């Protein structure tokens, strides 16, 4: 059980339900740096937990990147790019949306259809566009 913090006037300093400080009661760490109120071990634990939870997406543009191809449905033109991050930067699009299109979770991003380069889906899509335009 946690202890009840009592203010100078004898009233509780915190809300019992949410744990937030009540009006007029100042937290013990207000205006202080970590070194003044937190041990080095606890600081390291907090930083490690933050690094673990905020991992970069390596499948978008890191060492595990995959080449992508965008296809314009109206003209049938296609462009190659070595990663979704680079394509997103060049075309000012969100790279996660490009990856979602490649995985089949979305249909388009930026008005273009996106495919992984190493799959044959984009080749079949272009052939289908050409067949539809002939007939």
Residue 20: predicted pLDDT: 80
Residue 1: predicted pLDDT: 44
Tens digits of per-residue pLDDT, 57-108? 766 777 788 999 999 998 889 999 999 999 999 999 999 999 999 999 999 9
pLDDT at position 55 over 70:
no
Q: What is the pTM of this model?
A: 0.58
- Which residues does residue 109 pair with via DSSP β-bridges, in sequence order? 112
Q: Which domains does the chain have, with CATH numbers?
A: 12-55 (no CATH), 59-134 (1.10.10.10)
Q: Which of 11-15, 29-33, 71-75 comes out lowest in average pLDDT? A: 11-15
Q: How many CA atoms are closer than 13 Å to the CA of 9, on its beta-carbon side? A: 7
Average pLDDT of 127-131?
88
Contact 100, 106 (CB under 8 A): yes
Contact 84, 65 (CB under 8 A): yes
Element (H, E) at 52: helix 40-53
Mean pLDDT estimate for the chain? 84
**Structure tokens belonging to residue 106:** 């979305």
């Amino acid at each position: 059980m946690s202890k009840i913090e009592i203010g100078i006037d004898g009233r509780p300093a915190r809300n019992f339900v949410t744990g937030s400080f009540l009006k007029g009661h100042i937290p013990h760490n207000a205006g202080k740096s970590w070194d003044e109120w937190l041990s080095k071990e606890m600081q390291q634990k907090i930083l490690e937990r933050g690094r673990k939870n905020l991992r970069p997406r390596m499948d978008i543009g890191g060492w595990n990147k995959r080449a992508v191809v965008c296809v314009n449905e109206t003209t049938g033109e296609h462009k190659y790019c070595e990663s979704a991050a680079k394509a997103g930067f060049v075309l000012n699009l969100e790279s996660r949306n490009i990856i979602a299109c490649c995985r089949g979770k979305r249909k388009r991003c930026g008005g273009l259809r996106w495919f992984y380069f190493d799959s044959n889906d984009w080749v079949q899509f272009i052939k289908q566009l050409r067949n539809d335009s002939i007939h």
